[in-house]
Amino acid sequence: MSIAPIIWMNAGETSGDLHGQLLARALREERPDARILGMAGPAMREEGVEARLETEALSVMGFTEVLAHLPKILGLLRTLKEELTKTRPDVVVVIDAPDFHFRVARIAGSLGIPVVYYISPKLWAWREGRVKFLRRHVSRLISILPFEVEFYARHGMNIDYVGHPLLDSIRTQEILETKPRANRIGILPGSRKREITSLLPVFSRTAALLSARYPELEFVLPVAPGMDRDLITKCWACETPVTLADSSSRYELMRSCRAIMAASGTATLETALLGTPTAVAYKFSQLTYLLGRLLVKVPFISLPNLILDKSVFPEFLQHDANPSALAAAMAQWIEDTPARARVLEQLDILPGLLGNGGAASRAAKIVLETMRKP
């Protein structure tokens, strides 16, 4: 009988935690005896992953934001190295978050532990030179986006494309049968404090503009675990009411919306797979934005637009993320307009491009294949 494997999984942010939950579930289906531990958020902990560190401790984004949190990050890395030295897992799985996980990969490599990089880092957007690091320190690289295969091939690196794991959790019969409400607008301001404080006041003023034109509209905001309800209430800067909903039925809620305002991130792909037109917004610190304009090489920031290679969801960055611009975009979709029909037609293409399900199961098999051999 084979020895029960020890698998260390590391998620550095909310989206990685959700991917980690699905992967942990798939790993247990393959190896029910596996011990899975690591850096976990609420979703992974709910799946039974032993949290030696918590993902919530590393919820930062951008150049200047990372610098501001550097002492905390270095402390987490020291603790992580101590845990890996003590537990000696058979494999380390790092999920997205390259600025942190490149350091984790280096630590695991120094201990002789193979590394699987799940949700390959977005080096095609910027910092292509880091491919060399991946060649040296990562045993297997797993991609969930179809266009990444060609990018890494150009850099002499083979990757495993498994499709996108969100299809299995989002496009279920129960969720897709959720009846849309013609007057419901969703608000997804992100999960990080900085996203909420910069975007939610803009989204609330957009809601006020839309409500003045369409008085029958209702606004709903799913509150994820770890999100500060008091902060959300404080940042809702208008008299138009908003319902704070529990996130346990998040996908049904998003599916029921006529349209959504969302922070750029995994949420935009979720809304796309649910077939809900979405206006995408983001505000960076000024330094992050200026550096990004110099370094980032892609035409879009939202995943649906990148995958479809066209502007399906309108994007609003920095000063363009203002109430009047967002309200004008959202107003196109409240009635049955040709603009709404065009968006829905493009969204129907996405599932086929993303593997039609089973991604987490394919990724779990790769993780188990990569384990250190006795």
Measure the CA angle with vertex 359, ends 354 and 360; round to 5°: 145
Check whether residue 157 and residue 191 sit in a common domain: no
**Domain assignment of residue 232, yes or no:** yes
Place of tokens 């992580």: 80
The pLDDT of residue 72: 81
Task: Show the low-confidence residues of the chain (pLDDT under 70).
Answer: 1-2, 59-69, 123-129, 285-298, 373-374
Token couple for 322 = 């203002």
| Consecutive H or E run containing 140 | strand 140-143
Q: Which domain holds residue 56?
A: 6-165+358-369
Residue 216 included in any domain: yes
Residue 374 within any structural domain of the chain? no
What is the model's pLDDT at position 1?
40
38 and 143 part of one domain: yes
pTM recorded for the entire structure: 0.76
Q: Which residues are CB-contacts of 191 (< 8 A; sequence separation ≥ 6)?
A: 14, 59, 224, 226, 227
Q: Does 240 lie in the same domain as 294?
A: yes
What pLDDT does 63 receive? 42
Both 197 and 278 in a single domain?
Answer: yes
Give pLDDT tens digits for 98-152: 888 999 999 999 999 999 999 887 765 445 667 888 888 999 999 998 888 888 8
CA atoms within 13 A on the CB side of 319: 2
pLDDT the model gives residue 238: 92
If asked whether residues 138 and 199 sit together in one domain, one would say: no
State the pLDDT at residue 2. Answer: 65
User: For the chain, what is the domain count?
Assistant: 2
Has residue 132 been placed in a domain? yes
Q: Position 54: which residue type?
A: E
Residue 42 covered by a domain: yes
- What is d(CA 186, CA 255) in angstroms, rounded to the nearest whole number? 9
Return the pLDDT at 61: 47
- Total count of residues recorded for the chain: 374
In a domain, 70, yes or no: yes
Strand 91-95 to 115-118 pairing: parallel
Residues 185, 326 within the same domain: yes
192/293 same-domain check: yes
Specify if 1 maps to a domain.
Answer: no
Same domain for 83 and 232, yes or no, is no
Q: Find the CATH number of the domain harbouring 27.
A: 3.40.50.2000
Domain match, 248 and 326 both: yes
Note whether 128 and 99 are same-domain residues. Answer: yes
Q: Are residues 34 and 143 in the same domain?
A: yes
Q: Is residue 19 part of a domain?
A: yes
- DSSP assignments along 27-67, one per residue: HHHH-TT-EEEEEE-HHHHHTT-EEEEEGGGG---SHHHHH
Question: Does 193 lie in the same domain as 126?
Answer: no
